Structure 1
């Protein structure tokens, strides 16, 4: 009986003194991260585009996702809507004003877990010099080493959200029959540091 008590006491003590697992840090894999958007064009169809310059850092605590964080920077000038003239207009002061405001940023403020692999990430998005809170419904897809490089571990997420462009001052959206709600679709792969 004494051995059993000693074993239980030792296990209890180790559980109390064992340090908590640290959150893992990741860098977005820039050419495997897609930030896409769709906006209704006067009811005819959705106009779509992608940002090609995306970088960012993720702190991912798998034991408690509410302690995780995300910080992303998008180069506004890298918008691509499959038409050079339209891209130039989107970069102009009518919309993104990319010359004056070259970066679109997102920094998480809180995360609410909604399922085993799902969460809502709330954060401050700054675009055209205006900061507003947005929410992204996010799914953690998978994590494992690269098949050809066991030392490189990659994790992946998918996120979606809706943003009203007029809250960022892009009032010209409605003048051109666009949105004003912009649907956002994100697929992100990140490399463990």
Structure 2
């Protein structure tokens, strides 16, 4: 009887330890900026960013697992030139009136030690969902300004916009789009 009780307590303790190992984060929308680069007629690189992103991240460094879900408000797009912003938000490109968000989900993470270095999942853009691989450069996890425990990283990938139905002006406006996201995520208590 006593052996059974000890085994049950140990199993419960292991389950609690496993559950406690999962860290939950909320993306800090004031320090998370998805940006993109695309060739403009081969003469220059046009850059833009999205100012409004929200999402959650779960990491279990011991189990080497993770889960990400982020929503990017395409309506918050800026390229630094109002007339171009209007065009890029139109039906030719992001069609923000019909598709005001893009969603990234990832649930297959690869780690180097305790640091995530890659996440595989999907990008939903213009109503089309396709696989995407995110390369992660972990920067730092620590207390920020003595208030919040924060993890920061640079995340990058390259997609072909035509695969999501964004085919306007290909090949004059590049098909390959470099995406970079500067992320800070706040650990939840």
TM-score category, normalised to shorter length = 0.7 to 0.9
RMSD of the alignment, in Å? 2.0
Please state how far the C-alpha of 1:112 moved relative to its aligned partner. 2.3
Please state how far the C-alpha of 1:148 moved relative to its aligned partner. 3.7
Secondary structure, counterpart of 2:32 in structure 1: strand
1:185 aligns to 2:183 (yes or no): no
The whole-number CA distance in structure 1 between the counterparts of 2:107 and 2:169 is 28
Secondary structure, counterpart of 2:170 in structure 1: helix
**8 Å Cα contact 2:69/2:104 also seen in 1:** yes
- Please, which of 56, 65, 74 is the counterpart of residue 72 of structure 2? 74
Secondary structure, counterpart of 1:46 in structure 2: strand
User: C-alpha deviations, 1:89-121, integer Å up to 9, x for none?
Assistant: 111111111000111000113122356534221
Q: Tell me how many residue pairs correspond in the alignment.
A: 178
Q: Which residue of 2 aligns with 1:34?
A: 33
* Uncovered stretches (5+) of structure 2, i.e. residues with no partner: 1-5
Instruction: Sort the Cα spacing of 1:173 and 1:69 in 2 relative to 1 into closer, same or farther, 3 A.
Output: farther
Q: Which residue of 2 aligns with 1:22?
A: 21
Q: Which residue of 1 aligns with 2:166?
A: 170
Q: Which residue of 1 aligns with 2:52?
A: 53
The whole-number CA distance in structure 1 between the counterparts of 2:127 and 2:94 is 9
The whole-number CA distance in structure 2 between the counterparts of 1:187 and 1:14 is 41
TM-score by length of 1: 0.85
Question: Any runs of at least 4 consecutive aligned residues in structure 1 with deviations exceeding 4 A, and if so which?
Answer: 13-17
The whole-number CA distance in structure 2 between the counterparts of 1:59 and 1:116 is 13
**8 Å Cα contact 2:72/2:103 also seen in 1:** yes
The whole-number CA distance in structure 1 between the counterparts of 2:126 and 2:153 is 26
Please state how far the C-alpha of 1:146 moved relative to its aligned partner. 2.1
1:156 aligns to 2:152 (yes or no): yes
* Uncovered stretches (5+) of structure 1, i.e. residues with no partner: 1-9
